[in-house]
Structure 1
Amino acid sequence: MTNKTLIIGASGGIGRAIVKRYADNGDEVIAVSRSGATDDSWPNTVTAKAMTEHNETNIAAFVDELKSQGTTLNNVVITTGVLQNDELGVKPEKRLEDMNESALTSYFAVNSIIPALWLKYLVNVMDKNHSTVVCLSARVGSISDNGFGGWYGYRASKAALNMLVKTASIEYKRRVKNAMLVCYHPGTVDTGLSKPFQKNVAAKKLFTPEFTADQLFTHVSKLDRDQICHFIDWDGEVVTW
């Protein structure tokens, strides 16, 4: 039976590559992005959907549509996130004085709240026999692994995401049965999100989106499903919460 996979944030560099990786596996893929963009490398088993604004109303309507069609999902990968956005005045803080209310609100809105809303509604359309939800997180969201400080909004919003996912995994297990949720640190990937921060990254640690998608697909498929929630990195290693 063909797996059905939903990729959220499919127009980004990582999102596009993840769509292709799951489609190449033979999955029927729904690729959601603001523009509904497609990619010439995607096979015809990919359906692109536009969601101009990722808010609760639109997320609820989209999932209701899936439910009305009788669609159940085996895999979901949520790739949405923000690290720096000059238009919004969002950039990693170097000191306490750099924090401001507007930037913190943007960090939490994109990195924490949007994925949480997806988790809220997706529980109603996940396959009860075998389902996996992956959220792209970050190692800097680890509370225990923080020896450098700074990046207040990004760190805190990713830590919040990790807690939301871990908490949701308990309810998913109860309601969906064979469900597993994953927070995934992809490393530094050569995309627009990381461009301003690549100069200090060793060449061998700057990954292509294709490598990132392959690592995610490979390592997530090998995880112990008796453990309902995982936090791992691009090499399959455990990241401490």
Structure 2
Amino acid sequence: MTREVIGDYKAYSLAGTDREVRFITDVLNLNPGQSILDLYCGYGRHAIELAKQGFVVTGVDATKDFLDIAAQKAKEANVNMAFEQKDMRDLDYEQQFAAVINMFAAFGYFTDDENANIIKLVAKALQPEGLFLIDLLNKDWMLRNSLNRYWRHPSGEYVLSYKVELEKGIATMKRQLINQVTGAKTQYEFVLRAYSLPEMADIFSYCGLSVIATYGGFDGRAYSSETPRMIILAKKIP
């Protein structure tokens, strides 16, 4: 699975990265020097900031264009970290990380069996009692609400429309990028499997992980059927 490059890194770095990283570090409660895998790190927004704080970070993504941008930004930030191009279905780490993070609905792109096996590979990659933090769309909220969005790039050059349709647990993401200067339009569409909290808890249990906390947003609010996000913290069962 590959993902598209939309706009540029700066547009995304303004979208609450500091707050998101504070949430990640608060929830994981790790010490500098411990290892973190950012699974499908994208442009490296979180990975680079975590590396700045002294964590040993590895960023993995299937999309080379994302990794090229992330590596350049890491160099500009003067942080030393590893980036690897890898499909999440092919993770081959064993007890290497104190924590794995998977942010911004970067899970659910494959069959149920493949998705479950990814969680099993995450558990294998974790050290004993390691932590897994995953940020998902809230299926229960999506059933009753619209996720349609419209953004204008701060430079005014791009406009991005974003529409999500949910049917039988499958979320179809439709994006249209409009260049305000040239008028050119680029359209993207991809699908992912949306899971409920009980469904994810069952998958985690099967794969040797236990849910220890849930959140409804990066501000730490409690998770409920009324929160657009479903952020789950799980721990590797000894």
- Which structure is higher in helix share? 1
